[in-house]
Amino acid sequence: MAISTRQTEGFTMPELEYLAQSESITIVPLHRMDRVELVRGVVGPFRPPQKTEVPLWLAVMLKRTNRCRIVAPKWLAFEHLRDLCRREEQPDAMFTRLPVHYLEIAHMLLTHAEDDLVEPQGIRRLLQDLREVRQSKTHEGLRMLNSQQLQMDNLSAAEINEIRPLFRHSFDMLRQLDVLASATEESQQQSQFAENSYSQMDDAFGADYTH
Amino acid sequence: MDTQDSLSGGLDSNLGLYDADASNFDARLASDSMDVEDGGGARSSTRVDGNFGADDSDQALATGDEDEGDDDDGDAATDDDLSVLMRAWVNERSSPEILEYEGAAMENLMELVDFQTQKMATQPSALGNILKMDADRVKYLVRSYLRTRLSKIEEHARHYIKDVQYRERLSQNELEYAKGYVELEERHARRSFLDQLPPHLRGLDDVTADGLEMVSKPDLEAAVFCRVRSTVGEFQFEASEAPIVMKRNNIFITRYSIIRNLLEDGKVELI
């Protein structure tokens, strides 16, 4: 097996964090350092207290050795999250706009750079609330699922990954039922085929329940 | 800081150093003592100065306005190799069929990693650690990308080597791998039971009268999640349905076959 079965069903949490670590973030360096040429381009030069942009992995790396302060992104501020939460809770509200990797980024910053955040406890609580509201909304969304398409703007990578197995299987199930429905319609004139498709339907159900 | 062997000796021997588990990087973020300062001035470089993060991050900063603001600006054409490969990796992981091989981007990246590896040996450890981490991240990506493709090849090896369209998507090495895989599988089946069956039951790629094939194919109707990269405009998901406007950053769950062409054109990406 070239990859694990877990990986064929979506991404693992470390993999999502890997992707999130490529996002850029602002830091305030605490030590001087020249510019660094990375594979993706140049970062720096680091001249305290001038802010500069680096990929998140580098920010965390520098932070861990106490060589920078991380500037929390705007969306991770307590007030901003509180507003988002309120908006998210309104009936019929769409998903509010957040970075694709907001959960992973927030998690990494709360773990490695808690002292750079204002009211980290409050932020944790709000993130949790936000996540729960959004989760219940995605589950509502499952009701609207059909076999063609469903639009779900502003869902984040982690959220999609979480609902992927359920949505994928439901979607496939609906698709099979659609095929059978049209097959059944056709076969109403030809009773001989009808029998056939009912046994097919049994197969389809049987196959899916084993998941 | 351990220097690494030259990367030219085939990807796999090098990549073998790294576990498939990304959490490894976390361990690498380690707090090994880094001495500050000096990294030598401007170094010769063969790279393009891609300002990273300029690609998709504009969607990141959620400001107050809920308005999607038809920001169709950066048409994502200025992608650096790393972004290309990252997207290819995510697409590959999420799509039911094998996709086009990103050979060029990968070769460029491995060359760069090679260059960086040579450079890091001469750097003070603080800087060396950063370069190593950076190179390791690229190697991890390449490795996971190749492994993902291998696992998909194993899934439908017989179909991929038979179908011209798919065969062209495989790299030379992958094609050899697929052939070898099919051969091994066939030999095993023959030795263990096929040879004991009557000759007309020995086929491994038979097609029954009602079109049921023995060779498995990727399910192109499978459900996928995709995000629009550059505004498509009105798009007909289903012939019988009204078209739906696809704007940048919209997210849909739909059947793979519907967005297959859009994915090929880079108009959407899977997530």
- pLDDT value, residue B74: 43
Q: Looking at residue A9, which CATH number applies to its domain?
A: 3.40.5.50
- Distance (Å, whole) CA A63 – CA B255: 43
Decide: B151 and A8 in contact? Cβ < 8 Å: yes
- At residue B104, the 3 state secondary structure works out as helix
Contact status of B129 with chain A (Cβ, < 8 Å): yes
Say whether A39 and B109 touch across the interface (CB within 8 A). yes
Decide: A76 and A124 in contact? Cβ < 8 Å: no
Q: Residue-wise over A170-199: b if at least 16 C-beta within 10 A, else e?
A: bbbbebbbebbeeebeebeeeeeeeeebee
Residues 194-253 (B) with a CB less than 8 A from some CB of A: 221-223, 225, 237-238, 241, 244, 249-253
Contact status of A32 with chain B (Cβ, < 8 Å): yes
Task: Give the pLDDT confidence of A145-175 residue by residue, as tens digits.
Answer: 887 888 999 999 999 999 999 999 998 888 8
Say whether A153 and B249 touch across the interface (CB within 8 A). yes
The arithmetic mean of pLDDT across residues B184-198, rounded, is 93
Asked if pLDDT for residue B19 goes beyond 60, the answer is no
Last-in-domain residue among A35, A54, A71: A71
Establish if A36 belongs to a structural domain.
yes
- From chain A, pick out residues whose CB is under 8 angstroms from the CB of B86: 19, 22
Extract the tokens encoding B86.
Answer: 């990252």
Establish if A102 belongs to a structural domain.
no
Greatest pairwise CA separation for chain B in angstroms: 76
Establish if A85 belongs to a structural domain.
no
Distances (CA, A) of A192 to A183, A195, A197, B209, B212: 12, 6, 9, 19, 20
- pLDDT value, residue B203: 85
Asked if pLDDT for residue B242 goes beyond 80, the answer is yes
Establish if A150 belongs to a structural domain.
no
Task: Give the pLDDT confidence of B216-238 residue by residue, as tens digits.
Answer: 999 999 999 999 999 999 898 88
Task: Give the pLDDT confidence of B146-184 residue by residue, as tens digits.
Answer: 999 999 999 999 999 999 999 999 999 999 999 999 999
Establish if A44 belongs to a structural domain.
yes
- pLDDT beneath 70, residues of chain A: 1, 189-211
Structural domain span for residue A180:
158-209
Q: How high is the ipTM of this complex?
A: 0.84
Task: Give the pLDDT confidence of B3-12 residue by residue, as tens digits.
Answer: 343 333 334 4
For A145, nearest residue in chain B (alpha carbons): B253
Domains delineated in chain B: 219-271 (3.40.5.60)
Residues 166-195 (B) with a CB less than 8 A from some CB of A: none
- pLDDT value, residue B23: 43
For A33, nearest residue in chain B (alpha carbons): B37
- pLDDT value, residue B125: 86
Instruction: Give the number of domains in chain A.
Output: 2
Establish if A116 belongs to a structural domain.
no
Say whether B36 and A32 touch across the interface (CB within 8 A). yes
Establish if A45 belongs to a structural domain.
yes
Last-in-domain residue among A35, A50, A71: A71
- Radius of gyration of chain A from its Cα atoms, rounded to whole angstroms: 24
Last-in-domain residue among A21, A52, A71: A71
Q: Which residue has the higher pLDDT, B9 or B106?
A: B106
Establish if A12 belongs to a structural domain.
yes
- Distance (Å, whole) CA B148 – CA B88: 11
